[in-house]
């Protein structure tokens, strides 16, 4: 009887430690910043490799950017960045960038023009919601 209780307790502990931790689909944090420029860094984000996807929003095109979603995977690591922007043709784009090695957010200096951008920290399950 004692061995059976020990075996059941051991299986229960193994279940707890081996069960993957899953983050619920949720927006973890929302913040709005007045930004002057935004740059995303990664191995394939050179100026010519992605001509139809914007990865650099400088002073000339910061007004196109609407939202930046920093996407976390189930372990809480950064899985990628989702950008929501509207280019001059008027078609709203949702672009997911993976293998992002870093980013630069330049805030507006006094007297300069910028754009208020929403920055969200979300889980990967929340990616499929287009809003």
pLDDT single digits (tens) 27-37: 788 889 999 99
Residues ≥6 apart with Cβ < 8 Å to 104 = 37, 38, 39, 41
**E strand or H helix that includes residue 43:** none
Q: Are 87 and 54 within 8 A, CB to CB?
A: yes
Indicate the burial class of 77 (C-beta count within 10 angstroms; 0-12, 13-18, 19 or more).
Answer: exposed
pLDDT of residue 1: 54
The SS3 assignment for 2 reads: helix
pLDDT of residue 42: 78
**CA-based nearest residue to 70, from 47, 48, 102, 46:** 102
pLDDT at residue 18 greater than cutoff 80:
no
Best-predicted range by mean pLDDT (55-64, 65-74, 122-131): 65-74
Lowest-confidence pick of 14-18, 67-71, 81-85, 102-106: 14-18
Supply the mean pLDDT for the chain: 75
The SS3 assignment for 56 reads: strand
Percent of the chain whose predicted confidence (pLDDT) is above 90: 12
**CA-based nearest residue to 36, from 128, 120, 121, 115:** 115
């Amino acid at each position: 009887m004692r061995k059976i209780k020990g075996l059941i307790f051991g299986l229960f502990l193994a279940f707890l430690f081996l069960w993957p931790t899953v983050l619920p689909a949720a927006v973890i944090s929302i913040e709005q910043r007045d930004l002057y420029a935004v740059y995303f860094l990664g191995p394939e984000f050179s100026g010519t490799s992605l001509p139809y996807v914007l990865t650099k929003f400088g002073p000339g095109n910061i007004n196109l950017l609407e939202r930046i979603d920093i996407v976390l995977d189930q372990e809480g690591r950064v899985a990628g960045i989702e950008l929501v922007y509207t280019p001059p043709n008027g078609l709203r784009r949702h672009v997911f960038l993976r293998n992002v090695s870093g980013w630069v957010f330049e805030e507006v200096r006094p007297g300069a023009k910028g754009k208020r951008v929403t920055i969200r920290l979300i889980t990967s399950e929340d990616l499929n919601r287009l809003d």
